[in-house]
Amino acid sequence: MIGIVDYNMNNLTCVKSSIDYLGFKSKIVKYPKTINEVDKIILPGVGAFGDAIKNLKNKGMIEALHDSVIIKKKPFLGICLGAQLVCKESDEHGQNFGFGWFDKKVEKLISKKNFRVPHNGWNNITVNNKKSLLLKNVNNESLFYFNHSHAIDEDSLDCVSATCDHVIKFAAVIEKNNIFAVQFHPEKSQKDGLTLIKNFLTI
């Protein structure tokens, strides 16, 4: 069973529809105790980093996620804002601290000529980790759908499986052991997005 975490800041319908289309069972997780009942966890997200952390804390989800992902080693996938939340900190609307599962920063993209912010639309990724389980059968330079104004720094390439360029080069996919996170929206990225989601579901 796949658990999709609901903390009032995420697009659950598209993610669940993708999982259903692939023939896997999923359910929306609204309460911390329900996280114990699922085998894998997906944390989607849209909106501001600080608000997301506040909502997760108020619902008691951060402790439950830590127990399931860090202690019990359940496979975890963070999507868009959900990917940023697993990092150490973000500069969105001041300094905010995340889960700290990756020692990485989330920084604002700055608009430049020919580069609009938010980064909204299709862009290709550069695959760094050819052995990535999440990117199996996903070709280098494949296109994915992005919608964000902050991005994860690309330093520490040991955990960065793919990057993307928009104003700056940033981390598009990070992974470590049972934890996976993507800056783009695989549920909106057609064939390659479905391939990536299926890869996670079958890990």
Active site annotation includes 92: no
184 residue type, one letter: F
- Please state the φ and ψ torsions of residue 166, each to the nearest 5 degrees: -160, 105
- Cα separation, 43 vs 86, in Å, equals 10
- Cα separation, 101 vs 176, in Å, equals 9
SS3 179: strand
Nearest partner of 65 among 95, 111, 88, 99, judged by Cα:
99
Place of tokens 């996620």: 65
How is residue 128 annotated by DSSP? -
Catalytic one of 80, 87, 159, 164: 80
Nearest partner of 183 among 134, 144, 136, judged by Cα:
144
- Cα separation, 95 vs 169, in Å, equals 22
- Cα separation, 109 vs 31, in Å, equals 33
Active site annotation includes 164: no
Active site annotation includes 93: no
Question: What residues are annotated to the active site?
Answer: 80, 185, 187
